[in-house]
Amino acid sequence: MAHLTAQVNAPAPCPQVFHSCPQAREELSTTCAHARYGVGHGDSLSAMQHSHPVRPSGTAWAAAVAWACLPLVTCGYATPFSIGFAAYWMRSVWHALAASIYLIAIGAFTLGALVYADAEAPEDLAILFTLGLLLSWFGGVVHSAVLVPFMVRARPRRPAYQPVELRQRTTAPSYQRRPGEPQWIGHYRVLRSLGRGGQGAVYLAMAPNGVRVAVKVLHDLVDDTARARFAREVESARRVATFSTARVLDVNIGGPHAYIVSEYVEGPSLEQLVRKHGPRDEDSLTRLALSTSGALAAIHKAGIVHRDFKPSNVLIGPDGPRVIDFGIARALDQVTVTTGKMVGTPPYMSPEQLTGEAVGPASDVFSWAVTMMFAATGRPAFGEDTVPAVFNRVLNFHPDLSPLPPALRGVVGACLSKRAADRPSASDVMLAIVR
């Protein structure tokens, strides 16, 4: 999708900040994070609860029944204590009040029995004492019987695991918001910053339907002409087939800053993967080459030139590689000319990007070949030291292709031709790999 610009006076290798946001660095060179957005995607399942009711054990039921029998076998004398225990167990004020009433009732009967042990009590008091006994005895039996199922379920044993809602697990609750960071961008709630570069910032955000997205705010689109060009280019990007690319979901050119919302691809970038685990093996490299060349073919078919194809713009998602950061480079061209910035990342730029010639799909093919060399060796084919040295190698140096699998050497070599007209198209590259 979109891409930020690389400064000519910035020789350091371009850092990556992507959808594998826990490893995000503080700065971006040419990135745009993307988020999965829409009903039916994996993230929409994250709202589902994964906990289940815990069924009481047979021991719990037996203990509750035994507890309920106490008023019966003690002729009501245990009722205040059993109902009092229920009040404590269930955290109920009303049962505590009932236990107090039972205590008064059985206490009145007991006091009367002691006082009139050797004499006959007055009729009215005798009736009162009898009612107290009956209330504590039979009332306690009925009350306890009703409470049995509630007592069993009042404090269920916790499951061995603590269910965690998926969205909570992936949104880093410990993140500390920086001063000046927005809490909302349009109707997207910002969760945290994914990265910041010369032309904008990328934020992990929550869409109104509860799905995570990444919102890229572009600070350089300050005039109406640039914003209109941006909207047109993004509209073109929406026509790109999404089998190996991240979808454009929303765009807004109103307000203080223009922003674009993109599909989230869960997984590290190719750059992160190679830096951490080393160069890819032959099978992985072939699959990578096939999927990314197919993505470029789809992008070019929609009439778009990526202009910043590089390892950090290829995400290794659960369903395979996805190409991101395409679609707004052309909209930013006028801005970058007037501000003295150069669109692209020096180690992956094509000769025509350096010489000022017309940039077309062949430029992406050249950058694709350099990216495949990085995946095979762990380093850019033209180095990543000073910008003038890198530019000189891009224009005059032919890299060693021996680290590539034999099946890829020919097509990658053709893609690295210094003349754009001599390079194959992305579709031809894909067919050459299949054959």
Residue 280 pLDDT more than 50? yes
Residue 144 pLDDT more than 80? yes
- Please tell me whether residue 194 adopts helix, strand or coil conformation: strand
- Please tell me whether residue 125 adopts helix, strand or coil conformation: helix
* β partners of residue 245: 323
What pLDDT shows up at residue 3?
38
Strands 212-218 and 200-206: antiparallel
The residue-averaged pLDDT of 129-147 equals 86
Tokens 């309920």 found at: 68
Strands 212-218 and 188-196: unpaired
What pLDDT shows up at residue 330?
52
- List pLDDT tens digits, range 70-91: 888 888 888 888 888 888 888 8
**Pair of tokens at residue 339:** 């501000």
What CATH number was assigned to the domain covering residues 21-47+167-434?
1.10.510.10
Cα separations in angstroms, 202 against 29, 176, 183, 313, 317: 12, 16, 13, 14, 19
The residue-averaged pLDDT of 395-416 equals 94
What pLDDT shows up at residue 164?
36
What whole-number distance in Å separates Cα of residue 309 and Cα of residue 1? 10
For residue 94, name the pLDDT band (cuts at 50, 70, 90).
confident
Can you give the three-state secondary structure of 346-369, one letter per residue? HHHCCHHHHHCCCCCHHHHHHHHH
Cβ atoms of 239 and 318 within 8 Å: the answer is no
The residue-averaged pLDDT of 149-176 equals 52
- Please tell me whether residue 82 adopts helix, strand or coil conformation: helix
Question: Is the pLDDT higher at 321 or at 42?
Answer: 321
Residue 26 pLDDT more than 60? no
Closest CA to 68 of 10, 144, 178: 144
For residue 399, name the pLDDT band (cuts at 50, 70, 90).
very high
Cα separations in angstroms, 349 against 7, 246, 292, 393: 13, 22, 17, 11
What pLDDT shows up at residue 84?
87
In 3-state terms the chain splits into helix, strand, coil percentages (rounded to 5) of: 50, 10, 40
- List pLDDT tens digits, range 338-361: 344 455 688 999 999 999 898 999
What whole-number distance in Å separates Cα of residue 410 and Cα of residue 394? 19
HSE value, Cβ hemisphere, 13 Å, CA-based, for 250: 21
Q: Where are the domains of the chain?
A: 21-47+167-434, 58-154
Least confident of 254-263, 314-323, 387-396: 254-263
Cα separations in angstroms, 260 against 1, 155, 188, 250: 10, 49, 11, 6
What whole-number distance in Å separates Cα of residue 36 and Cα of residue 266? 8
Question: Is the pLDDT higher at 50 or at 192?
Answer: 192
Question: Is the pLDDT higher at 120 or at 425?
Answer: 425
Least confident of 235-239, 294-298, 374-378: 235-239
Percent pLDDT > 70 in the chain is 71
What pLDDT shows up at residue 327?
56
**Pair of tokens at residue 284:** 């992985």
What pLDDT shows up at residue 27?
35
What pLDDT shows up at residue 391?
94
For residue 92, name the pLDDT band (cuts at 50, 70, 90).
confident
Residue 6 pLDDT more than 90? no
Cβ atoms of 253 and 230 within 8 Å: the answer is yes
Least confident of 139-153, 216-230, 339-353: 216-230
Residue 12 pLDDT more than 70? no
Find the helix or strand (DSSP H, E) in which 112 lies.
helix 93-115
For residue 41, name the pLDDT band (cuts at 50, 70, 90).
very low
**Pair of tokens at residue 394:** 């891009």
For residue 377, name the pLDDT band (cuts at 50, 70, 90).
very high
Question: Is the pLDDT higher at 13 or at 388?
Answer: 388
Known catalytic membership, residue 308: yes
Residue 174 pLDDT more than 70? no
The residue-averaged pLDDT of 405-426 equals 95
Tokens 């994250």 found at: 46
Tokens 């094509």 found at: 350
Cβ atoms of 365 and 417 within 8 Å: the answer is no
Contacts of 307 (CB under 8 A, 6+ apart): 3, 329, 330, 343, 344, 353, 359, 363, 364
Radius of gyration of the chain (CA): 36
Count the neighbouring beta carbons within 10 Å of the beta carbon of residue 169. 10
The residue-averaged pLDDT of 253-273 equals 83
What pLDDT shows up at residue 394?
95
What pLDDT shows up at residue 150?
83
Catalytic residue among 224, 250, 283, 308: 308
Residue 277 pLDDT more than 90? yes
For residue 147, name the pLDDT band (cuts at 50, 70, 90).
confident
What is the identity of the amino acid at 81? F
What pLDDT shows up at residue 158?
44
Cβ atoms of 212 and 251 within 8 Å: the answer is no
For residue 186, name the pLDDT band (cuts at 50, 70, 90).
confident
**Pair of tokens at residue 185:** 């961008």
Mean confidence (pLDDT) of the chain: 76
Cβ atoms of 152 and 60 within 8 Å: the answer is yes
What whole-number distance in Å separates Cα of residue 243 and Cα of residue 293? 12
